[in-house]
Every structure is written in C-alpha cells, then in structure tokens.
C-alpha cells in the first residue's frame, strides 16, 4: 500500500513518537536536557582543578570531554528512550490506499471488503493486528519496492521497534551541546587570564621567571629552550602571560593555545611590531596603523580585515607602556 502523498519524504511520520510530556511541553524537554548537559559538565570538571590549567588548548579539552561523556550519553539515551512512546499514527494510517485494478482501496475499505467476502474474523483481526501493521509500515517505508520487500525475510516487531526507538532518540542528546558548555567555561577562564597585553621581556627575566616555576633553563640553554624574538623581546613558543597557568611552559601546540584570541574580530594583529617601529610616536598613531592591519599580512598569512580603531580603546594604557618599553630599548641598541 502507498500513501496519498509521497511516502518517502514523510518517512517516519507514520509513527507517533513522543516524549510523553516533552512533546506537549517542549520547553520542559529543553530545560531537562540543559540540566543534564550542565550536570555532565560539572561532573567532568571534578576531574580537574581548573579547566584552563588542565587543558592547554580547546582541542585538548574537546578530546577529554568526548572520552568522559561517552558513558553519560548512553545513560541519557536509555533514560530518554524510556520516556518515548512509539506507536502507529492512526490518522496517517487512515490515508493509506492502493490504486489497483479493483479501484482505489483504503486500509479501512480493505477490511470492509474482507468482511463482505466473509473472510474469517480471526484472519481479519490478525491482518489488522497493530504489531503486524507496525511491521508492514516499517518495512514498506524502508523498502518501497514490493519486489525488494517480499524478497527478504521481514524483521520482527521487536527488532523494528528498537530501530524506531533509536531513530527517535537520535538528535535529542548531543555531544556538541555538552562540549559547548565546557568550551564556554574554558574560554571564559582563558579570556580572563589573557586580558593583559603581552609585555616585552628580556632573556634574563624569562630565565628567572621560568626557574621560579621549576622549568629547566639556564643562560646557556636559553636559546635552545625558547624561541626568542630579540627585536620585539618576546618568547615565541610558550605562553607569555604571567597569570596563565601555562606561563613559559613549553608545549608543542602553543599556537593552538593562543588561537582562541585570534578568532576575535578586533584582535590587534602586529601590535608589538607596530609599537616597536612607532615607539617615538603617539598611541593614536599605533592604533591607527594596527587598525588598518597593513603589516599583519606581510608574512604570507591571509590578510585580516581592518578593525574599528575605537575597539582598541581598552588597550590604550597598555600600548602606552609598550611604547615606553620599546623606546627605552631603541636608545640601547
């Protein structure tokens, strides 16, 4: 039997698959899932003292979350599945019909015809058994061609019921949502810790700060341990923010650590280079130059689009300090 409108497009609409109260109160379902996600994240956080400290990059965080939640997601799947009712949707079933040589036959017409033909009541009852119809509808949707459908051993009601359960549950609970909550927290910690502008630092200061954190580095090994930008006086292969738990600690994927701030549309590209080159000029001059991003595209990287100069206002005091630092050096060098 085929449905009046295109059956394939409508797929599983034949089934009333409802989160019992959730379907009537979608906001309840949303709140319930949100609470679940947050609980998972809270539980995940117990495994580390501080997300930023434990996870150097967002990728590290995501990998750990994935590992942590796989069992939680199974629990969620099971508890959601228990709350889903799956049954044939009789409204839709009433529209089933088959256009054949004997006319346009609906499911109900067929029953009337069978009774008229004095088919035994028990046979009719068996044909209209809900579980039996459920199997027919499932198989019919999956294998629209009758040749294909009849040529294979049909699945049992129980098997098909389980398939429907899985279909109805999928999409309701998402790893991505849990990741999002954890990522938001990590980003907040990162942003807070990395608020200050990176200030120029001498090799000697780096060594002192690193040794204070039990990092193995000496005057002799300094250049083997750190990639150091002599001109801008910046470490290039470890976090330069004293408040960050990863300050001066070596990580292979340092660029991923700082990539978060580069996603910001107002990230001041080449700020240190500009402050160095324009150290005898005003903060406004540096801001203007950085805002046009004219220097950032120099190193074969994709040229970022210009930014609104006023979006750098909060940095002005620190840029002033930066200019003074670089000005001091220009006398020495």
* Angstrom distance (rounded) from CA 174 to CA 326: 50
Q: Binding of Zn ion at residue 244 (CB under 5 A)?
A: yes
Report phi then psi at 172, rounded to 5: -85, -30
Pair of tokens at residue 146: 């009758």
Q: Binding of Zn ion at residue 239 (CB under 5 A)?
A: yes
Question: Which C-beta is closer to Zn ion: that of 55 or that of 134?
Answer: 55
Question: Which C-beta is closer to Zn ion: that of 164 or that of 193?
Answer: 193
CB of 36 to Zn ion, least distance (A): 31
Q: Binding of Zn ion at residue 238 (CB under 5 A)?
A: no
17: nearest Cα among 175, 132, 138? 138
Considering only 33, 89, 249, 293, the residue that binds Zn ion (CB under 5 A) is 249
Pair of tokens at residue 298: 């120099």
Q: Do residues 242 and 199 make contact, with C-beta atoms less than 8 angstroms apart?
A: no
Q: Binding of Zn ion at residue 197 (CB under 5 A)?
A: no
Q: Binding of Zn ion at residue 276 (CB under 5 A)?
A: no
Report phi then psi at 15, rounded to 5: -105, 135
CB of 239 to Zn ion, least distance (A): 3
Considering only 97, 246, 272, 276, the residue that binds Zn ion (CB under 5 A) is 246
Residues 251-270 that bind Zn ion (CB under 5 A): none
Residues 30-59 that bind Zn ion (CB under 5 A): 56
Question: Which C-beta is closer to Zn ion: that of 242 or that of 304?
Answer: 242
DSSP E strand boundaries for 52-184: 84-88, 97-100, 103-106
By beta carbon distance, the residue nearest Zn ion is 244
Question: Which C-beta is closer to Zn ion: that of 246 or that of 272?
Answer: 246
Question: Which C-beta is closer to Zn ion: that of 233 or that of 257?
Answer: 257
DSSP string spanning 279-327?
A: TTS-HHHHHHHHHHTTTGGGGSSPPPPP--GGGGGGGHHHHHHHHHHHH
Question: Which C-beta is closer to Zn ion: that of 105 or that of 249?
Answer: 249
- The helices-and-strands tally (H runs, E runs) of the chain is 18, 6
CB of 41 to Zn ion, least distance (A): 21
CB of 190 to Zn ion, least distance (A): 7
198: nearest Cα among 160, 244, 230, 159? 244
Which residues lie near Zn ion (CB under 5 A)?
A: 56, 239, 241, 244, 246, 249
């Amino acid at each position: 039997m085929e449905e009046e409108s295109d059956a394939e497009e409508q797929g599983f609409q034949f089934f009333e698959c409802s989160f019992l109260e959730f379907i009537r109160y979608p906001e309840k379902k949303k709140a319930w899932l949100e609470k679940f996600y947050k609980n998972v994240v809270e539980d995940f956080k117990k495994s580390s003292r501080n997300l930023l400290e434990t996870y150097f990059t967002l990728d590290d965080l995501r990998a750990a979350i994935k590992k942590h939640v796989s069992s939680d997601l199974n629990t969620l799947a099971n508890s959601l599945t228990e709350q889903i009712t799956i049954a044939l949707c009789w409204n839709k079933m009433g529209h089933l019909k088959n256009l054949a040589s004997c006319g346009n036959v609906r499911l109900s017409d067929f029953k009337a015809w069978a009774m008229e033909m004095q088919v035994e009541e028990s046979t009719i009852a068996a044909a209209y058994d809900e579980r039996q119809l459920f199997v027919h509808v499932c198989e019919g949707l999956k294998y629209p061609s009758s040749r294909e459908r009849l040529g294979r051993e049909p699945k049992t009601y129980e098997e098909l019921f389980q398939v429907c359960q899985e279909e109805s549950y999928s999409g309701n609970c998402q790893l991505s949502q849990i990741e999002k909550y954890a990522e938001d927290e990590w980003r907040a910690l990162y942003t807070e810790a990395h608020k200050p502008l990176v200030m120029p630092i001498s090799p000697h200061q780096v060594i002192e700060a690193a040794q204070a954190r039990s990092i193995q580095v000496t005057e002799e090994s300094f250049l083997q341990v750190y990639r150091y930008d002599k001109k801008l006086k910046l470490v290039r292969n470890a976090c330069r923010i004293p408040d960050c738990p990863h300050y001066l600690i070596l990580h292979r994927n340092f660029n991923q650590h700082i990539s978060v701030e580069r996603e910001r549309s107002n990230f001041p590209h080449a700020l240190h280079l500009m402050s160095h080159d324009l150290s005898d000029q005003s903060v406004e001059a540096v801001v203007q130059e950085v805002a046009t991003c004219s220097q950032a595209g120099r190193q074969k990287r994709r040229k970022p689009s210009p930014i609104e100069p006023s979006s750098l206002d909060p940095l002005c005091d620190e840029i002033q300090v930066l200019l003074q630092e670089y000005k001091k050096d220009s006398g020495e060098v």
